[in-house]
């Protein structure tokens, strides 16, 4: 009996031991590598065992190793910005995982003024666009990355020249005389507005490849924190940085661009021109030539460009860094036009004291060399007599030539004494080739940001940002004495100008930020208070001279000016139950521009947010992943009233050469007291904004709808003051009100999202209308308004007007009367007031250059290693005045007595049959609604070439592929609405290569 009990015990023990052992043997180690969708390794990924709190994190190489209890364990991989993956272990010991970006949470953290927030907690109208969404192709100017991507933001390039600047408008303009440009902040440093001499675009100093994100702040509750400079919206630019623990990444990005355009103004050919002169000016046929020249073809070319960018990012011990160098060189389709840029950037962001002290140092420098083609060649090419050759040829041996010169070999119309006819059309090719107009712009933007989380109070953070922005633009213009278009019989002619402009901006920004979760009341408080000091200096000087550098030279001496802006600001964010959000900001700005009595301005804002989808009554609606209501109100200011930085002070100005006066036998310099307004003060804009942010199907579809109303009062306007009351007739003073209202709608959807195939589509639509509600101190109904919109044709003619009750820059024209065939009757306009005369009172307000509705559409489709995308834009309701036609489409242009010389006409003259010019007729006002395909792109990615971990992507892009419009001028997209010899925008064919090492 005893033996049996012992045996059973032993057996049970053995079974038990076996069981335990086998269980012990079931526990194993699983390891592997985690990568992202581009096969880059991902450090810092959380790897946890589902249902437990055990876990680990991937190392700097993305590798992990974890003990799992058995084959039925499930590993959960999660990382901020990426979709969570749950993978059953099974019998594997090596599990490699690829994580895919989470659409919504990629924009989870957005940069706002002085800080960051989660997008879902943002109460203002904030839109972030990061490098994945940027426009592709031949992009030299940073703002082109954004065109068409954001509702409410209109970016119109100023011409087709390489590296050209753009007009950026956020929710329409809110000023008349003051600047309508948004404030641009680069890594926390607000840039001085305006450009610099010699530069095509002040933003070109930043290489687009170095930009990580654009954040656009649209409504006052988002922008009020920038107070006095924020009335037109704020664009925050953040440059690329590296993270702690990253491994070394090297990237090369190269592009080859080919530009071409076949856009031409339709003018008469040589034979047609010849017969028209013979018919209408038979006494002047001796002025015709024997050649047949298409002048527009002579000035345009197919152009090439190239771009190379190299960047290295990584971390050296505790110092993450990113360094980049870039080179781009683009020719323009107008011959001799060129833009070349060398750029470099360095970014360091180490953190010390266990992440309590974070330092971020950014430095960006660039050297841009521009060669400016004389754009007068565009107008000259339209007007030049087509029967003359580009260069003198043997048929001209009979013409006497002055002295030894043959004017550089270029044809020029000459008088009988051999001197050029002064007012004749210049030879367009001579204008391009004989004029040497170059500039170099050096630019440096740097800042150092120190962020310290207090050890004794970790909820409190101090942030100090010191910034410095320096630009110097220098250039010269040289035209030789033998250029016919610059001839001067008295002084030898030619041009020898030099110019320099220096701008400096120094910033000191300091704020304290306190964030505390108070679970007792289910609340979170985020409070911030700060101080900002910014100093601006602007100086320019130069010499305008002829080649002989004689007494007709004019020197523009040094004229430096300074501006100081000082502010105190604070913000309070209160969140209740993670559902109800309140933001309150207040900023006090002081500027040296205004007198001590008026220089201080207070700019408050309040915003409310309600995360409706977090409410219990919506928790069962699975399809709705996000629904947030945002209401905002805020007041912002504007004090950028133009080039005079001391406008409130009485000052005297000395005269420059050429404005002296003779007493006896001596010429005296004069001094002049300037007009001033000592009461000048801020323009204020109040914005009301209501919006819904929505998301469906787990954020597969997201978007927002915004409705806004902006009212500007105390508009700074350059208006006539009562004669005799001041020392000049127009003063910049506060008088006038303006209103802007509109709706923005945007939607982004990801119809297909699988590991092999992704398709996303985005659409944004904006409707905006503006109206001037007050212009002068008294409201005289007979007062027509302030003329604006200068055109060619007569001197000082204006085609637009700012009037009360109308959108600003409305066209102000005579209504043309047409006959039964639909042809205009020359000189016949509707007599609006029936007084038998056609005068200013018969002009009507008709349309305006700003579109009523603008739309952007973009889509991308990827299948395995292929990626196809296109992005396009449309404007509706924008009108353009076709000035090139109103000047050149009349028969009286054929013979010009002020030369005399012959001038070409457009084929439009056969439609209008106008003998004389009627610049003010609405016959020339055209609907320029359009749809433009901004880019179409196809790329293929080669992964892990030669097993070295090198990825290569090859992309082909077409920029400005086509434009659909009824407008028959060169281009319907013209900021300001006046088409006067517009420099065509080329189509660009780009081959790009992107290599990651």
Partner 1 sequence: MKYLIKLTAILLGSVFVYTSCIDDLDTEPIDPDETTASAVFDEPGAYKAFLAKMYAGLAVSGQQGPAGMPDISGIDEGFSQYLRAYWEHQVLTTEEAIIGWDDQTIKDFHRQEWGSSDNFIAAMYYRIYYQITLANEFLRATTEDKLDERGESDQTKAEVAQYRNEARFLRALSYWHALDLFGGGVPFVTEDDPIGSFMPSPINKQNLFEFIESELLAIEDDITAVGANEYGRADQGAVWTLLAKLYLNAEVYINQDKYTECVTYSKKVIDEGPYTLEDNYEHLFLADNDHLQEVIFSINFDGIETRTYGGTTFIISAALGGDIPPAEFGLGGGWAGTRTTKALVNKFDANDGRALFYDESYGQALEINDESDFQQGYAVGKFKNVTSTGAPGSDVTYPDTDFPMFRLADVYLMYAEAVLRGGSGGTVGQSVIYINYLRQRAYGDASGDINSGDLTLDFILDERARELYWECHRRTDLIRYDRLTGGDYVWPWKGDIPEGTATDDKYNLFPLPAADVNANTNLDQNPDY
Site for partner 1 in 673-702 (CB under 8 A): 673, 676-679
Contact set for partner 1, span 359-418 (CB under 8 A): 415, 417
C-beta of 651: minimal distance to partner 1 in Å?
5
Smaller CB separation from partner 1, 254 or 826: 826
User: What are the tokens at 318?
Assistant: 């505790």
Contact set for partner 1, span 476-515 (CB under 8 A): 487-491, 508, 510
Q: C-alpha angle 290/982/409, rounded to 5°? A: 35
C-beta of 993: minimal distance to partner 1 in Å?
50
Contact set for partner 1, span 630-649 (CB under 8 A): 645-646, 649
Smaller CB separation from partner 1, 22 or 725: 725
For partner 1, which residue of 51, 834, 836, 897 counts as binding (CB under 8 A)? 897
**Dist CA 380 CA 425 (whole Å):** 6
Neighbours of 825 (CB within 10 A): 11
Smaller CB separation from partner 1, 404 or 558: 558
Q: Return the residue matching tokens 């701008």.
A: 503
Q: Does 837 bind partner 1 (CB under 8 A)?
A: yes
Smaller CB separation from partner 1, 741 or 774: 774
Contact set for partner 1, span 708-737 (CB under 8 A): 718-730, 733
Smaller CB separation from partner 1, 704 or 733: 733
Q: Does 282 bind partner 1 (CB under 8 A)?
A: no
Q: Is 445 exposed, middle or buried (0-12, 13-18, 19+ CB in 10 A)?
A: buried
Contact set for partner 1, span 567-606 (CB under 8 A): 590-592, 596, 599
For partner 1, which residue of 78, 167, 419, 859 counts as binding (CB under 8 A)? 419
Smaller CB separation from partner 1, 577 or 659: 659
**Dist CA 575 CA 584 (whole Å):** 12
User: What are the tokens at 434?
Assistant: 């004989």
C-beta of 461: minimal distance to partner 1 in Å?
13
For partner 1, which residue of 784, 853, 952, 995 counts as binding (CB under 8 A)? 784
Smaller CB separation from partner 1, 249 or 896: 896
Contact set for partner 1, span 742-761 (CB under 8 A): none
C-beta of 641: minimal distance to partner 1 in Å?
14
C-beta of 169: minimal distance to partner 1 in Å?
25
Stretch that binds partner 1, among 166-174, 198-206, 420-428, 950-958 (CB under 8 A): 420-428
CA atoms within 13 A on the CB side of 527: 8
**Dist CA 503 CA 191 (whole Å):** 10
Smaller CB separation from partner 1, 336 or 906: 906
User: What are the tokens at 599?
Assistant: 């220089």
Torsion sign, CA atoms 214, 219, 221, 225: positive
Helix, strand or coil, per DSSP, at residue 471: strand
Do 42 and 79 meet the contact criterion of CB atoms below 8 Å apart? yes
Strand stretches in 697-851, DSSP E:
701-713, 716-720, 730-734, 737-753, 757-774, 786-790, 798-802, 810-813, 816-818, 824-829, 844-846
Q: Does 462 bind partner 1 (CB under 8 A)?
A: yes
C-beta of 225: minimal distance to partner 1 in Å?
19
C-beta of 773: minimal distance to partner 1 in Å?
17
# binding residues, partner 1 (CB under 8 A): 105
C-beta of 338: minimal distance to partner 1 in Å?
30
Stretch that binds partner 1, among 94-102, 359-367, 562-570, 818-826 (CB under 8 A): 562-570
C-beta of 408: minimal distance to partner 1 in Å?
19
Stretch that binds partner 1, among 1-9, 90-98, 101-109, 776-784 (CB under 8 A): 776-784
**Dist CA 310 CA 906 (whole Å):** 48
C-beta of 846: minimal distance to partner 1 in Å?
18
Q: Which of 597, 604, 489, 479 is nearest to 546 (CA)?
A: 479
The three-state DSSP-derived secondary structure of 826-886 is EEEECCCCCCCCCCHHHCEEECCCCCCEEEEEEEEEEECCEEEEEEEEEEECCEEEEHHHH
Q: Does 458 bind partner 1 (CB under 8 A)?
A: no
User: What are the tokens at 426?
Assistant: 């210049």
Contact set for partner 1, span 905-924 (CB under 8 A): 916-917, 919
Q: Does 454 bind partner 1 (CB under 8 A)?
A: yes
**Dist CA 143 CA 33 (whole Å):** 38
For partner 1, which residue of 588, 899, 927, 938 counts as binding (CB under 8 A)? 899
Contact set for partner 1, span 650-669 (CB under 8 A): 650-665, 667-669
CA atoms within 13 A on the CB side of 129: 23
Smaller CB separation from partner 1, 302 or 653: 653
- CA dihedral of residues 89, 91, 95, 99 (deg, nearest 10): -40
Instruction: Give one DSSP letter per residue of 578-629, joined into a string.
Output: TTEEEEEEEEEEEETTS-TTT-EEEEEEEEEEEEGGGSGGGTT-TTEEEEEE
Site mask for partner 1 (CB under 8 A), range 839-878, x = bound = xxx-------------------------------------
Contact set for partner 1, span 794-833 (CB under 8 A): 794-797
CA distances from 655 to 501, 546, 709 (A): 21, 21, 46
Rg of the Cα trace of the chain?
34
**Pairing status of strand 303-316 against strand 319-331:** antiparallel
For partner 1, which residue of 291, 421, 527, 572 counts as binding (CB under 8 A)? 421
Do 769 and 796 meet the contact criterion of CB atoms below 8 Å apart? no
CA 338 from chain center: how many Å? 20
Smaller CB separation from partner 1, 755 or 781: 781
């Amino acid at each position: 009996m005893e033996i049996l009990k012992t045996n059973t015990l032993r057996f049970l023990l053995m079974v038990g031991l076996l069981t335990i052992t086998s269980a012990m043997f079931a526990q194993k180690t699983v390891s592997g590598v985690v990568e992202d969708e581009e096969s880059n390794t991902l450090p810092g990924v959380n790897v946890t065992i589902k249902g437990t709190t055990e876990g680990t994190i991937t190392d700097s190489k993305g590798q992990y190793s974890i003990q799992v209890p058995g084959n039925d364990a499930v590993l959960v991989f999660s990382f901020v910005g990426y979709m969570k993956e749950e993978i059953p272990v099974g019998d594997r010991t090596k599990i490699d995982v690829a994580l895919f970006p989470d659409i919504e949470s990629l924009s989870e953290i957005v940069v706002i003024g002085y800080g960051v927030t989660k997008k879902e907690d943002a109460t203002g109208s904030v839109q972030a666009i990061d490098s994945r969404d940027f426009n592709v192709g031949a992009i030299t100017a940073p703002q082109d990355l954004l065109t068409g991507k954001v509702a409410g933001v209109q970016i119109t390039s100023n011409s087709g020249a390489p590296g050209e600047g753009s007009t950026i408008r956020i929710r329409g303009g809110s000023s008349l005389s003051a600047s309508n440009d948004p404030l641009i902040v680069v890594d926390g440093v607000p840039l001085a507005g305006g450009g610099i001499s010699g530069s095509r675009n002040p933003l070109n100093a930043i290489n687009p490849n170095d930009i990580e994100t654009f954040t656009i702040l649209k409504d006052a509750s988002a922008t009020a924190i920038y107070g006095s400079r924020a009335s037109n919206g704020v664009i925050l630019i953040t440059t690329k940085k590296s993270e702690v623990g990253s491994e070394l990444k090297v990237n090369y990005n190269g592009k080859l661009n080919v530009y071409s355009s076949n856009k031409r103004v339709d003018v008469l050919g040589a034979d047609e021109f010849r017969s028209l002169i013979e018919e209408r000016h038979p006494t002047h046929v001796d002025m015709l030539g024997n050649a047949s020249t298409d002048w527009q073809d002579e000035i345009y070319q197919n152009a090439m460009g190239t771009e190379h960018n190299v960047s290295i990012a990584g971390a050296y011990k505790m110092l993450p860094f990113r360094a980049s160098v870039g080179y781009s060189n683009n020719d323009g389709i107008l011959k001799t036009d060129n833009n070349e840029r060398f750029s470099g950037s360095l970014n360091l962001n180490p953190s010390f004291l266990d992440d309590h002290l974070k330092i971020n140092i950014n430095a960006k420098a660039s050297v841009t060399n521009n060669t400016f083609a004389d754009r007068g060649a565009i107008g000259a090419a339209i007007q030049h007599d087509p029967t003359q050759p580009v260069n003198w040829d043997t048929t001209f041996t009979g013409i006497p030539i002055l002295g030894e010169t043959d004017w550089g070999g270029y044809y020029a119309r000459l008088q009988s004494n051999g001197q050029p006819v002064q007012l004749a059309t210049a030879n367009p090719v001579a204008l391009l080739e004989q004029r040497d107009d170059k500039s170099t712009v050096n630019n440096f933007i740097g800042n150092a940001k120190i962020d310290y989380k207090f050890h004794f109070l970790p909820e409190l953070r101090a942030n100090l940002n010191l910034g410095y922005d320096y630009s110097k633009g220098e250039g010269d213009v040289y035209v030789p004495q033998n250029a016919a278009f610059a001839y001067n019989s008295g002084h030898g002619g030619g041009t020898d100008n030099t110019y320099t402009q220096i701008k400096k901006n120094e910033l000191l920004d300091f704020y304290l930020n306190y964030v505390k979760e108070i679970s007792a009341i289910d609340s979170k408080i985020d409070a911030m208070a700060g101080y900002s000091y910014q100093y601006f200096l602007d100086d320019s000087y130069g010499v305008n001279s002829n080649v002989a550098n004689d007494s007709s030279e004019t020197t523009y001496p040094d004229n430096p000016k300074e501006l100081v802006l000082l502010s105190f600001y604070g913000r309070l964010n209160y969140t209740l139950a993670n559902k109800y959000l309140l933001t309150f900001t207040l900023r006090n700005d002081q500027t040296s521009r205004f007198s001590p009595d008026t220089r201080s301005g207070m700019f408050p804002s309040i915003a409310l947010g309600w995360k409706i989808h977090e409410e219990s009554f919506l928790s069962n609606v699975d399809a709705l992943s996000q629904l947030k209501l945002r209401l905002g109100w805020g007041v912002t200011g504007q004090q950028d009233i133009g080039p005079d930085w001391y406008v409130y002070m009485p000052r005297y100005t000395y005269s420059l050469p050429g404005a002296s006066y003779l007493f006896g036998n001596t010429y005296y310099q004069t001094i002049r007291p300037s007009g001033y307004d000592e009461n000048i003060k801020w323009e204020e804009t109040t914005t009301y904004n209501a919006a819904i942010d929505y998301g469906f199907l787990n954020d597969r579809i997201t978007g927002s709808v915004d409705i806004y109303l902006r009212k500007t009062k105390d508009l700074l306007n350059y208006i006539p003051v009562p004669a005799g009351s001041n020392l000049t007739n127009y003063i910049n003073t506060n008088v006038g009100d303006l209103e802007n209202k509109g709706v923005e709608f945007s939607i982004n959807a990801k119809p297909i999202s699988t590991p092999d195939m992704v398709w996303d589509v985005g659409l944004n639509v904006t409707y905006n209308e503006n109206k001037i509600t007050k212009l002068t101190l008294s409201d005289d109904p007979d007062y027509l308004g302030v003329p604006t919109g200068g055109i060619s044709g007569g001197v000082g003619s204006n085609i637009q007007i700012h009037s009360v009750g109308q959108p600003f820059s409305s066209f102000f024209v005579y209504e043309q009367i047409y006959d039964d065939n639909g042809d205009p009757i020359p000189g016949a306009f509707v007599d609006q007031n029936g007084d038998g005369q056609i005068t200013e009172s018969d002009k009507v307000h008709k349309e305006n250059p700003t579109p009523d509705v603008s739309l952007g559409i973009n889509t991308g489709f990827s299948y395995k290693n292929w990626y196809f995308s296109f992005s396009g834009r449309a404007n509706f309701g924008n009108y353009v005045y076709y000035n090139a036609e109103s000047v050149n489409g009349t028969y009286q242009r054929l013979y010009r007595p002020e030369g005399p010389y012959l001038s070409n006409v457009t084929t439009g003259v056969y439609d209008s049959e106008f003998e004389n010019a009627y610049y003010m007729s609405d016959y020339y006002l055209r609907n320029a609604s359009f749809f433009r395909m901004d880019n179409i792109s196809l790329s293929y990615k080669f992964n892990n070439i030669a097993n070295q971990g090198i990825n290569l992507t090859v992309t082909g892009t077409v920029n400005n592929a086509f434009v659909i419009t009824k407008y028959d001028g060169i281009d319907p997209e013209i900021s300001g609405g006046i088409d006067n010899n517009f420099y065509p925008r080329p189509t660009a064919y780009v081959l790009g290569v992107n290599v990651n090492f």
